[in-house]
Structure 1
Amino acid sequence: MELNKMVGKPVSRLEGTAKVTGTAKYAAEYPAENLLFGYVVSSPITKGKILNIDISKALAIPGVIEVISHLNRPKLAWLDIQYTDMDAPPGTVFKPLLDENILYNGQPIALVVAESFETARYASSQINFEFQEQVHQTILERNLTEARAPKKGLATALKPPPPPPTGNFEEAFENAAVKVASEYRHGTEHHNPIELFATTTIYEGNGKLKIYDKTQGTINNQLYVANIFGLKYKDVQVLAPFVGGAFGSGLRPQYQLFLCVMAALHLKRNVRVVLDRKQMFSFAHRPPSIQLLRFASDINGRLTALGHSAFAETSNFEDYTEPTAGWSHRLYAAPNTLFEHQIVPLDVYTPMDMRAPGGSTALHAIECTMDELSYKLNIDPLELRLLNYSEMDPSAKKPYTSKALRACYLEAAEKFGWSNRNPEPRSMTRGNKLIGYGMATGIWDAFQFPARVQAIINREGKLILHNATTDIGTGTLTVMTQIAADELGLAMEDVDFQYGDSKKPFSMFQGGSAITSSTGVAILMAAKSLRKKLLKKAAQMPDSPFRKADDEMVYFSNGSLHLKENESAKISLKEIIAFNKGVAIKTTKMGNPHMIKLRKYSLATHSACFVEVEVDKDLGTVQVTRAVSAIAAGKIINPKTAKSQISGSMIWGISKALHEETIMDGNLGKYMNANLGEYHIPVHADIGQLDVIFVEEKDELINELGTKGVGEIGLVGMPAAISNAVFHATGKRIRKLPIHLDDLI
């Protein structure tokens, strides 16, 4: 009798107890003997040069070991090489302490190393810098004349430009029966995970390092450290078993890693560097953007023209682009299209991928424009989307491997009660509150990366799995354990998934909603190979009932190998290993995307969001009282962790729409609210009832698991649904995010 399957069950996170009781250790919490502490000194100016540095007072403080700047930087790092990062953005990683040039406000300009963190921090205030300031430009709107297309290279290869135009857009838009032209603006957002960026480097001698780092990719950072410092890959181990959130900020190596490793190699000591909250605003942000949209339809609501031009910020030392302008054509078909994406170089740090990069920005503008078009047509917003529903991807002229978006619309609308909506703006009230209903569509890529997994059955008959992936709080440990348990017919407590270590088999970074489909498929491949090895060994045992059995004739359950035609015939995995003289049976296999087969298809997850808001008539305050998201993401391995992912994304959608923005002072060239007191994010009181629906979507093409990621699809549609609900409540179309109460008074 087969063991009850774990895939599809709402299993609580296996590491949950360790996290809530404080026994889970993060990058800055690992003990080390004779540990030194580094404190980063940040540039107070935005652009210019360092003329002089006086470190005499800092060095005179007891406990201060070293002050490192560009003037005395140890010649350990190969800063002349063009090290290319794996992702986010694909390009040359920023080089700390390279020279006297200041490229952005908050740039690291020195590292103080001392016997204690407090001593290092105090000493940093005793360093005297002499600067030569230069005129800076940090405001997107003031520099649109400098906009240009991204330079061709690795960045444009991995993040290609929007699709080419089709038809005659200008003529079609000019002559359209109904059309909307709108401008949408988004402010800067910073990732701000709760765990500060930190690195603890254990110096093991002879060029060997053990590094505990806050990262989404252990192997990515291992390659970075080895290449930059000229070390052997095998001598650099990066560990990140617990990561306190990242949202994209940990996709590439951040500067505290470089500084910490440099100090450890230079001093031949164990070193820890932790950034403070203000320094978390000195890198990694979603860029501000300006989007110009022009949509047109015939009198019946059928789209005839789609135009989308995007302008976004990048740094002056690196091109960063994110896919923004082309998303509308992946949802809606139109014979005439024009899509453009331009970047504006500014004196800021390079932006980075932030949860649903490009998609959350683009879908807000796209779905608000569709909403505005629906009012001009006097067509229900949901009906307009159904009228323009496309079973295929119009931009690529390919079918999707699966697309259950129509079911998302209908099931979410039913759950929400969309039919109760009075279409007239400002027509629905509740006491002194204006009530608004809004909806929007979501779409996100269904990525899969190559991954390698080692699977081992030990002498206790337990399964041990090895993979270098991280778990940034998404439930990866739990989900991988569920998949593996089912494949070998084991209870979850008999599966040990070991991860977060660069010395383990290959994994890409955890990002793009891809790890379940990547590492999960690799587990399937390894389990399949392991089952064959176990069956072969079982067939060699004395009087074995499995001598003539093949894969189709057996199954694994309750820690044993069973014969289907005679369930009493079984051998435990423990017995098989005992027959193997106690030697574990192991295998290592790769899981790869089906690149050739999938070239004929487009790969995406889909969602539909419905939102109710209350807007105070006098104060203009907005409260999202309830929201429903329906998600089509293939097979859901763990409904509990998947729902948590979607709920978290929905909350971030509320934050993006109503709260979250980093304010840049153009005169100073610095962010003015670089703290969690003034960088507003939602609290419990801001969040109403959130409902999540996973619609049935069977995808037999996407991968062996039939899975698509859920980390980002819950976010992309929410800001637009909220904005549309605010319009329905108030009659005011606010075309910038976040929406402030003064916009509505």
Structure 2
Amino acid sequence: MSRQAVGAPLSRVDGHLKVTGQAKYAADHPTEGVVHAVIVGSTVGRGRMTGIDTRAALAHPGVLTVISHLNAPKLAYRPNPSSNNPEGGERLHVFQDDKVLFHGQPVAVVVATTPQAAQHGASLVEVRYDAEKPATDLTGAHAHEPVTYARGDADQAVDSATVRLEMTYRTARNHHNAMEPHATIARWDGDRLTVWDKTQWVVGTQRELAAVFGIELDAVRVISPFVGGAFGSGLRAWPHVTIAALAAREAGRPVKLVLTRKQLYAGTGHRPAYAYHLRLGSDRRGRLTAMVHDITAETSSYENFRENVLAAGQALYTMPHVRQAYRTVPLDVNTPLYMRGPGHATAAYVIESALDELAHELGIDPIELRRRNEPAKDESNGMPFSTRRLRECYTVGARAFGWDRRAPKPRSTRDGDWLIGMGMAAAAHGTLRNPAQARVLLDARGVARVEAATSDMGPGTYTSMTQVAADALGLPASSVDFRLGDSTMPTTPAHGGSQTTASVGSAVQDGCDKLRRQAIELAVGDERSPLHGVGAGDVAVGDGRLHVKNDPARGETYQQLLARNNRTRLETLGAFAPGEPRFSTYAYGATFAEVAVDRRLGLVRVRRMLGVYDVGRIISPKLADSQAHGGMVGGIGMALLEDTVTDHRDGRIVNSNLADYLVPVNADVSDLRAIFLDGEDREADPIGVKGLGEVVHIGVAPAIANAVFHATGRRVRELPITAEALL
């Protein structure tokens, strides 16, 4: 009997390469004749460049050239609506004019024979500016026209509700700060461009470079086999990718460009800051009647970035009246971008904190309040849920976490000088699916090679796709070689939004199913095969063999089949495309947190956390557990530590480093546990998964915030929660 790969705690198939340092990240690829580039960033937040003096830089030994708007060629910058660019405006055109739109904007690049020469050369470039005062404060600028949603008459319903709450929450700008900095190596071979890049979407980067340089798509190849974390920052091609390719063309040499840690804060995106005003109404039993959401978020002055911050307020709880207005405020900042749990994490912090406030106001247990407001269908579109097991998440979580030991009254549990509190929050994230393809080849050795142009920024794509393919082909996982990260491979969607397993995994399943059927048809039609004449539906595969279902001894290996038929390989192309939606498909979770707050110093420590999730079929429990723990750690950062601080005088980010921008470390993280409900969702996709990389993060910040309130009796409506706010 074949041992099933899906559902087994398989260790990462690429783990050995990573722990031994053999995995090649963007800046690691050996490229003959490579030279090095360093970007010069603007030191003002708005204005125009009036002059650039490059004489000292060009005189420095090793410097080959300095490129700026004064000598750069004009680039095509064709429209590219499919590269994860924001909805409105136009992406930054590097070195095409003298405008400065934000602090740190690339204004020149120095190319030199060594990294040291390029770095010092960049420090010698002198740029003169006609500077203006930038607008970087969310509260003081004019907003774009809002995106709106409404059902019923929410304003009137809130005004007439028996219980009314009104509050404003604020969240800080957050930066991704992945371990691997963004980096690009670019090489031109005549009019063909090859790029090694840190990206979550090789196809998106390929399309963007083709559009920027005005060349054919197949003239660009993007390679990215390993990504050292990204959390959304690699979902579009940032200006440095164009700069590397431009520098390589102008220098006539391959160019390597690695952003410094400081440059990441201006060179790539960020979770935008929000001000979120919420009004809600309910009856005395806690049944919600209405919510009014007025949401303001930052975007850049040249692009209008929006994320899905509205979905939770429309579908998470039942209520007849909802009104939402989502305004973006153009500021002199770099364009924001998706960050883990984009939009949903912000909305969950507000809505789940507000429900906790309502539960306290009414004297109802927070879990019971949520149970009373469970919807029977998705009230935003009228569709039935494919699966919705939040009630079960609550029940399992409450029992496992010991929720019954929670004292209802805030500030009533102590451990010496520490105030102890428990909090919880619900989470939901839509199951994204997009068209994907995967190539499957089975060679004469009985080894399958599966290829797709997807990415792996850490969740374990190599491993999960190996498991799907192994079971579909009846092979041990060791006989499957999954390859990714090359734009010459079959097209896939971006590696983000928890859609990779659902989309690419379904394409892999389809390709392997086709190849398995191809092999079975070859065998049953071959007079020399032990399976000759057997009905195709009566043949199974397992342990690398094709055999009769009720007679495992009657069969043969893939190797025997191919050798006898003089075939070097079998090959198929798998594909997946979601059909018209008939169900509302979400992944769900309930997050529980226990915190301790020093009553004199206001320090917050997370003692333990538990997440219980309804995410469909679990392909790899070891990977799922890792994802849940990572999401919890990220949520601790969002709740208690992460805050990008801007000097509004010149737009400079003052904590653009990992000493001053705080992220969770071992001392901040204690007992983390995840439970996944058994089940699958075949309405979501053919392999029954719902995506879990986002949902495990979404409920964490509000669970911690609610636990802090329970510990202290003080409600903090701004993230991150600081000691100063609790003193």
Range class of TM-score, shorter chain: over 0.9
TM-fit CA distance, 1:264:
1.3
Residue pairs, 1:344-355, within 5 angstroms: 344-355=329-340
Matched, 1:134 2:132: yes
Residue pairs, 1:87-486, within 5 angstroms: 87=84, 89-90=86-87, 92-143=90-141, 146-149=142-145, 161-162=147-148, 164-203=149-188, 205-282=189-266, 283-486=268-471
| 2:76/2:214 contact within 8 Å kept | yes
| 1:646/1:714 contact within 8 Å kept | yes
Structure 2 counterpart of 1:583: 568
TM-fit CA distance, 1:85:
4.2
Change (3 A) 1:90 1:515: farther
Structure 1 counterpart of 2:79: 82
Using the alignment, how far apart are the partners of 2:132 and 2:95 within structure 1? Answer: 19
Instruction: Find the partner of 1:660 among 642, 648, 669.
Output: 642
Using the alignment, how far apart are the partners of 2:277 and 2:218 within structure 1? Answer: 50
Structure 2 counterpart of 1:157: none
Deviations 1:599-641 (A, max 9, x none): x211110000111100001100000100111010000000110
Using the alignment, how far apart are the partners of 2:459 and 2:91 within structure 1? Answer: 26
| 1:306/1:329 contact within 8 Å kept | no
Using the alignment, how far apart are the partners of 1:501 and 1:345 within structure 2? Answer: 35
| 1:391/1:403 contact within 8 Å kept | no
Residue 125 of structure 1 aligns to a residue whose secondary structure is helix
Amino acid at match of 1:184: Y
TM-fit CA distance, 1:225:
1.3
Residue pairs, 1:620-699, within 5 angstroms: 620-699=602-681
Amino acid at match of 1:64: V
Amino acid at match of 2:618: I
Amino acid at match of 1:720: P
Residue 485 of structure 1 aligns to a residue whose secondary structure is helix
Deviations 1:562-581 (A, max 9, x none): 11132221121011211232
| 1:295/1:307 contact within 8 Å kept | yes
Instruction: Find the partner of 2:491 among 482, 486, 506.
Output: 506
Using the alignment, how far apart are the partners of 2:306 and 2:97 within structure 1? Answer: 26
CA-based RMSD of the aligned residues comes to: 1.3
Structure 1 unmatched ranges of 5 or more: 151-160
Using the alignment, how far apart are the partners of 1:382 and 1:731 within structure 2? Answer: 18
Using the alignment, how far apart are the partners of 1:434 and 1:443 within structure 2? Answer: 30
Change (3 A) 1:474 1:536: same
TM-fit CA distance, 1:341:
0.4
| 1:88/1:251 contact within 8 Å kept | no
Change (3 A) 1:550 1:89: farther
Residue 238 of structure 1 aligns to a residue whose secondary structure is strand
Amino acid at match of 2:211: N
Deviations 1:415-439 (A, max 9, x none): 1101111111111111111001111
Residue pairs, 1:507-522, within 5 angstroms: 507-522=492-507
User: Normalization by structure 2: what TM-score?
Assistant: 0.98
| 1:526/1:587 contact within 8 Å kept | yes
Structure 1 counterpart of 2:31: 32
Amino acid at match of 1:212: W
- What's the % identity of the aligned pairs? 38
Q: Which moved more, 1:566-575 or 1:361-370?
A: 566-575
Using the alignment, how far apart are the partners of 2:637 and 2:92 within structure 1? Answer: 29
Using the alignment, how far apart are the partners of 1:427 and 1:377 within structure 2? Answer: 18
| 1:84/1:93 contact within 8 Å kept | no
Q: Which moved more, 1:613-622 or 1:330-339?
A: 330-339
Amino acid at match of 2:722: H
| 2:583/2:683 contact within 8 Å kept | no
| 1:311/1:342 contact within 8 Å kept | yes
Structure 2 counterpart of 1:154: none
Change (3 A) 1:544 1:582: closer
Residue 27 of structure 2 aligns to a residue whose secondary structure is coil
| 1:526/1:590 contact within 8 Å kept | yes
| 1:309/1:325 contact within 8 Å kept | no
Using the alignment, how far apart are the partners of 2:250 and 2:562 within structure 1? Answer: 48
Amino acid at match of 1:739: I
Aligned residues: 725
| 2:279/2:292 contact within 8 Å kept | yes
| 2:37/2:110 contact within 8 Å kept | yes
Amino acid at match of 1:147: A
Amino acid at match of 1:718: V
Using the alignment, how far apart are the partners of 1:148 and 1:271 within structure 2? Answer: 39
Using the alignment, how far apart are the partners of 1:459 and 1:169 within structure 2? Answer: 66
Structure 1 counterpart of 2:709: 727
Residue pairs, 1:591-630, within 5 angstroms: 591-593=576-578, 595-596=579-580, 598=581, 600-630=582-612
Using the alignment, how far apart are the partners of 2:107 and 2:379 within structure 1? Answer: 49
Residue 226 of structure 1 aligns to a residue whose secondary structure is helix
Using the alignment, how far apart are the partners of 1:462 and 1:609 within structure 2? Answer: 42
Change (3 A) 1:88 1:707: farther
Using the alignment, how far apart are the partners of 1:622 and 1:219 within structure 2? Answer: 43
Using the alignment, how far apart are the partners of 1:441 and 1:336 within structure 2? Answer: 21
Deviations 1:486-511 (A, max 9, x none): 11111111000011110001111100
| 1:88/1:353 contact within 8 Å kept | no
Amino acid at match of 1:276: T
Using the alignment, how far apart are the partners of 1:547 and 1:20 within structure 2? Answer: 47
Deviations 1:675-711 (A, max 9, x none): 0000001110111111101012332211110001111
Structure 1 counterpart of 2:67: 68
Change (3 A) 1:148 1:89: closer
TM-fit CA distance, 1:90:
4.5
| 1:290/1:311 contact within 8 Å kept | yes
| 2:524/2:535 contact within 8 Å kept | no
